[in-house]
Structure 1
């Protein structure tokens, strides 16, 4: 039974097995209890032997005649009987088992063989003996004694006949009951138990408990369903945990955004009031105040732009409008503003080598957004006197754009979350680093919409390497 693994196959197998058992058992036990297709009651034997009795009475004086003997033997063989005819003096005048039995000097005990009415007696050498009087000219002259095998004869007893008839059915029903009991135990183990586990797990999930694992590893349809259900439970648990983390980070983000919006606005307001009140009373100081206002305004613009792009992405309205362009001029235009910006600043920007000139199909505005975000990210997390290295490598089917810095680096445990929305490294939460936590998430979305990929390599306090690919036409 262990090879029957599928619950559906178990049901079909046991139904077929039970029907086959019922049929075979009935045939076997009917033969055991009746042993032949035909059995006879006493009255039926009397009817069967009627023609034989008429033949005996008609040819009583010629029972030794060969034709009569052959006819009698042919008759009694039809119902598997043997025959003796014993006259009233106890002399055997005919024996179907011995044609030459007739002997004028051979007699038997008349008391056990001569009856003046029909009678029978069981268990004489496994035979049932039926005795019928032979009447010639209104006078009993002998008795015809028929011997039938015991297995072929039943008494004219209604209860006994019923018992003999239903005994095979009872035996078959017992076998069927045992078979069904085995089937039920197997069915309970392979079907009912996992269904109960599924129900229990579903109830626990409904209550919000997603920790209840389904323990059922059979390799069948139900086993695969249980594993799929358990996988769904784990995915739902992970999804809720991610959602909870996302919600927590969103709230932290709102708090930080409120701070990041309020701080530059307050600074801008203070410096504008300083200009209005004449605090900046010389050109050098005025220029300094204007530079601060410009920097804070640019921070606000980037923050608001990140929020706007994130909202567009969530609403499915983040458009990508591609066109085929050559990479060299495109990338040169994108990096040039940073060369000017950082030329005399505290950080050194290094552009390595000439850019490959291959045909790419990109949205120029979105690609520039990726490069701007990555370089701004490097500027933000690289201390003074550090370096930022920009390079482009030509691979067989794609361009690899790299931005390397010598900044603070990213912790190993944070690398798989660095491209998530609102995520900021634990070391930088609460510190004076502006930004929304959306820049890298937007970069990932844009790159993947172009059919590329983005990744990071980093070591703590040594710097980071951000790379993304652009498929070539």
Structure 2
């Protein structure tokens, strides 16, 4: 029996909508399963068929003997054959009576016949026959139904294997039809994570093709929109640097005083903000921008901590691992200083800020822990987004515009690491800068 080819999963129905495809698939699968389950429920092995014949051989022999008694009545023979849905052939000497197509000769049937009482059970080709001899007359009978449900012992379970094959093919066909939905889900996930360059490669010629093409179009539009925004920020930042430089020169000419000092501080803050905006755009090239060099880790950390003028709030827990790290020193310093400064700003005056450095097999983790008011759980997901600041955190500095942690995250990722945060309201926060260790250390 020929089973459906698995290439059915790739069959295309360009003029059918999605609902019609599913209807056709489910209908065909249901029909095939019903047919196969019925065949499997009624199928018999040759041994089972022989046992049934043996159990009834006397009654069957009596019925067959009556048909060959005396003169053969062909009309009565056809009536009996039609009633029992069998084909009958009787041979007496050279005379032959049959109710349908010719059956094999008695000699051929007897070659591999199995005796079952007074009857003989034989198989020729793919058909099964029951024959008997009475009064020098041989009668042979075959049943279309029996030929449909009786199989060799090793093949009797084929309908159930066919059921599994149909289910497998249906699964593949269904998966092929629904794969664009999976692609759409993956695309939406990538876009939500900020990967606007992700595109769906294949588009089916149906309703789902409109969905996948639409997602690609949306990603392209968003990419263009963000590119325009970033280009505008970059242009504005560059344009602001020149007037600020001139303002610094003019302030230097003026006589020093409280007003001039305050103006200088504000201009420096604005200059820092512009520098942060420019840095955020530079870091789009990730590691290509970094000036990586090897440094002794304890020396780098001690220099950063000493830059806080021995602030009593800062304490180092444990020992700083004596390893060599491959970093862009300026940007690495920016990240660690920013984390310590934020911890100090968000803590009470007497609250400690703890720094812990732990080495793992392939990385070093720098954790900065404060015991301030913490961060709201709903804000944690947006903490590393540009221009984001928590509104309800006490002691929050108003000096920045929400680019510090965004830049720290980018610098960490540019180094091949990451920046993680854990926080609990009224108990404080912990930021962990994870940095991979290159193969310098042995």
Q: Which of these two proteins has the greater Rg computed from alpha carbons? A: 1
TM tier relative to shorter chain: 0.3 to 0.5
Using structure 1 for the length normalisation, give the TM-score. 0.43
